[in-house]
Each structure stands twice: as C-alpha cells, then as structure tokens.
Chains A and B, each alone.
Chain A
Amino acid sequence: MRNALLIAGRELRSYLRSPLGWIVAAAMLLLDGLLFQVGAMGGAKLSAQVLADFFYYSSGITMVGAIALSMRLIAHEREKGTLVLINTAPIRDTEIVGGKFIALFTFITGVTLLTAYMPALIFVNGRVSIGHIVVGYAGIVLLGASAIAIGLFASAFARTQVIAAVLGAAILGVMLLLWMAAKVADPPVSGFILGLALHHERQRAFMNGVLRLENVVYYLVITYFFLLAAIKTMEARRWR
C-alpha cells in the first residue's frame, strides 16, 4: 500500500504541475457550468428534474475527463521511458496499477465535487433532498472509477497514448451503447446485455436519487475487472 500511495502522490503532483491537468479540470468545470445553465436549468422544470439533468450532463463530462487523463497513465510513461524506473523497483504490478488508479480517481473526484455549488444553487429557487445530491454524486464517482479503470487497462495494453485513447474510448463507447444492442436482442439475452450497459439504466437510478445495491456492485465489478486486466497486461508485457 505504501508503494501504491508513493506512486499516487507522484502522479497526482504531475497533474498539478503540468498544463494538461489544469486544462482538463478547467474544461470539465466550464462544460459542467454551461450545461447546468443552458441544459439543466433551461425551461420550467421541477427541482428534482433539474438535479437529475445536471447529473446526466456531469456524468458524461466525468467519463470524458477520465478517459482523457487515463490514456497517459501507463502509455505516457512507456513512451517517455520512465516506466522502467517503477518496473525495476521492488514494487508489484498491483501497486503500480493501484497507485495510478488512486491518483486519477482522487483528481477526477476532486474536480467533480468542485461542481457541488451548482446543485446548491437549486436551493435558491427550489428544493431538493440532500440524499438525492449525495446519491447522484455517488453515481458519477462510481462511473468515473469504471471509466478510469477502462482507460487504465487501455493505457497498459497500448504502446502509445493515442492508441490508448482510441482503445479506451472504443471500449467505453461499446459499453455505453450496449442498451441499443439490447433493443434488437430477444429476452433473456436482451436483459443480460442491458445489464452490462455502463450508463443507460444504471446511471438513471443514481440521477433520480435512488441508491440500488446492484448498481453499486455493478460499477465496483467493472472497475475491479478492468484493473485486474490492467495488472495482468502489465505482467504479460514482461514476458514479451
């Protein structure tokens, strides 16, 4: 755990010292603000609907931010030649992947939570429950964790950041659009495919302030699966 935290600390500092981290954070917050003002607050709506719309837009922005930054986690170090430093230190691949994940998860969660003033603005002219806000953010954070894990796997697998970005976006895209595939399939296959979809039904519950254990477990399993895939990819690369 100590090694994972060391790697996480260095990684997190690198976001704050490079333009990329600030640019992604600024872009995420700007888009969140614009979509909240124009999309979520547009038209006459119930306060709960405004909040649900805000979480809908914010979840998409968090996913894009997570993929944009996760592509560099391992592939960037491989390209720069710095991966060899941690590869030749007495650190397990689990700690390397874990540290990278913790760093980006902390960053993305931090930026996402900086949007908290937007739901708070609803209280000026409306009323929503604190529980709704907390559950909505929990959904975004869990979705962000899954997107980071997918991007981390792509970054461990690909030789370059560009390939990692394309691969990560492709996996994420397929998992987002599985609900469409479910429409053309027959039960019980359609139900299975729909259950795998990353956003459609799973996020809807969180957006509406409904916390279901199955949805939480789903995101945790997706995150665990792709982190494990990233670790195994790192291990396999040493045999190449």
Chain B
Amino acid sequence: MIEIQALTKYYGDRKAVGPLSFSIAKGEIVGLLGLNGAGKTTTLRILACDLLPSSGSVRVDGLDVVDNPDDVRARVGYLPDHPPLYDEMTVAEYLLFAAKIRGLTGAEARKRVDEVTHETSLRGVRDDVISTLSHGYRQRVGIAQAIVHKPQLLVLDEPISGLDPVQIVEMRELVRNLRHEHTTLISSHFLSEISETCDRLLVMREGEIVAAGTEEELSTRLLEGGSIIITVRGDGAHAKRLLTTVKDVRAVEVVGGHHGSTTTLRVDAVRDIREDACRTLVLADIGILELTRSERELESIFLTLARPDGAENGARS
C-alpha cells in the first residue's frame, strides 16, 4: 500500500527526513514512533500530499505522490496533529463539506456522513457547532473527516495526544475498528499509546527509521529480554523462589509491597520468559492474577531507540 524509497525532505538547508525507506502492506496498522522533531509529521504530510519530497520515491497504492497527487489524495484520509476543523460549522455540515471536496456527490456524502457519525459515535453532537465540542469530540470529528470518503490509507498524526484515559481507550477501540476497511499509519511519541493498537512499529530518529518490528521483537533485540510484572496469590515468597530458578532470569523483586492476599513481583530476564514463568507457577499451584510486560520497559525500549544518545543501541537493531 505504501512504498517509500530513499525519501528525503529538506527545509532550507536543514534535513528533516531521510534517507527513509519502508513499505506497508494493505490492511496493516503501523505505528510511527519518534520524539518531537524526528520527522514523523513531515513524513505523514508527504504521504497525504500536503508537502512534496525533496527527493526519493513515495508511492501510495502504486501511485507516485509527485506525479499523481490528486489520485493519491483521493485514496488517503489524513488527520493532522491539530484536527483541521472550522469552528463555526456544525459537525454534520463540516463532514458534508469534507465529503464533497473529496469528490462524493450530495447523496453519497449525506449517506457517508450518517455512517461515519455512527462509526465515530458522533450522532449525539452532529448538529452541535464545532467550537462547543470537547477535545475528545474534536478529535473524533477529525477522524470522521479522514474516513468520510472511505480512503484506502488512513494517516493519523498523534490521534491520542491530549486525550484523557477514557478517551484514549475509546480512541484505540475506534482505530481498531477501522482496520477492516483501511490500511492505517499512526504516529505517536508514546510507545505505550500505540503498541496495543498497531501490528508493527517503525521507530524514527533524526529523519530515519532506526528500528522496525513488533513491540516484542524490538524488546528482544534491544533489551535482550526485559521485565515482566506478575501478580500472584499469597505472600509471594514461594513464587519468588520458583521464578529465580527459571532459566535466564536475572533477578526477581517484590514491587509495591504485599497487598492483602496478593503480591506483585518484577522479574528481569535476558529473554522473554513469560511462558516459562507462567508454567512454573501454575505447576506449583500458585494462582496468577496478572502477568504483563512492564510499562517502564516499553518506555525504555522507546527511549533507547528514539533518543539521539541512543544511537549505539539503535544501531544494533
């Protein structure tokens, strides 16, 4: 669906992106990660035909963004980091306008507006003026305008930014529901925000991809294993002893103390030992209430890759 070869983009003498090469298959949800200034937004703007590349080839559905910009635009739905909303319009008017300028006829546009307001849970506010909407609803309207013309490729620039925890969960659900109809590229500077939503992650630093793969692949390659958090029944002493015996475990420590009848343990290992740890505890008849990768670990993967001073580690990928 997306093929990018040796893309570069300069703002004056300053290189913002490149050389950048990657491809995304149809139906994938891919996360583009990077700190501010890594080149994510510039890359997405080029894909949406808002900017032209300085050099290289960018193809969407086989069409070059320089040679066939209007054909590409018709295939792409784009939500920039600040939703492009006309405050004085109502939600329905705005979506109707967005649909029509993407080439839909009046009847088609009205039908699609009904559908997308349903998909994005905007029916209750469809006649509200956009300036009166909360941040979460504005973000939803932004997504609705991006999908109103049923694009093959959906490009979302930090759609979760600024949302509260409930809205983040709703937004993740919304993006997941869109996977059946669109190939999706989402950018973020928080790994934890999109790792649950995406099939694959691309990490950008200083305009280049420094790592690609699933969260687990990145973790395995960069941290040679990582940490898991296990909550077990009991005081945890027996579980701690058993987990220490699991192959490749480096350390086990109790975190957050003992709460009632449960204990939370942090296990550091040189490889992914989730399966082995689980089996060991279950065979010993220790109840496992929760087993998860550490959030701290997610962020450390990201920081290792994305920070300029993480170049050495990033190069290992």
Residues of A within 8 A of B (CB): 3, 6-7, 10, 13-14, 17-18, 81-92, 238-240
Contacts and interface: CB of A to CB of B under 8 A. Distances in A.
A81 B86 contact: no
Contacts of B73: 88-90
Given A81-B84, A238-B50, A89 B11 contact: no
Chain A at the B interface: SS class = helix
Contacts of A83: 84
B101 A82 contact: no
A9 B267 CA distance: 62
Contacts, number: 61
Interface in B60-102: 70-71, 73-74, 76, 78, 80, 82-86, 88-89, 97-98, 100-102
Contacts of B74: 90
Nearest to A14: B88
Contacts of A82: 84-86
Contacts of A81: 80, 82-84
B88 A17 contact: yes
Contacts of A92: 70
24 contacts: A6-B101, A10-B86, A14-B86, A81-B82, A82-B84, A82-B85, A84-B48, A84-B78, A84-B80, A85-B84, A85-B98, A85-B145, A86-B101, A87-B49, A88-B48, A88-B49, A88-B76, A88-B78, A89-B73, A89-B101, A91-B70, A91-B101, A239-B52, A240-B51
B103 interface: yes
Interface residues of B, number: 28
8 nearest CB pairs, A to B:
A85-B84, A90-B70, A89-B101, A90-B73, A17-B88, A81-B82, A82-B84, A88-B48
A88 B50 contact: yes
A10 B86 CA distance: 10
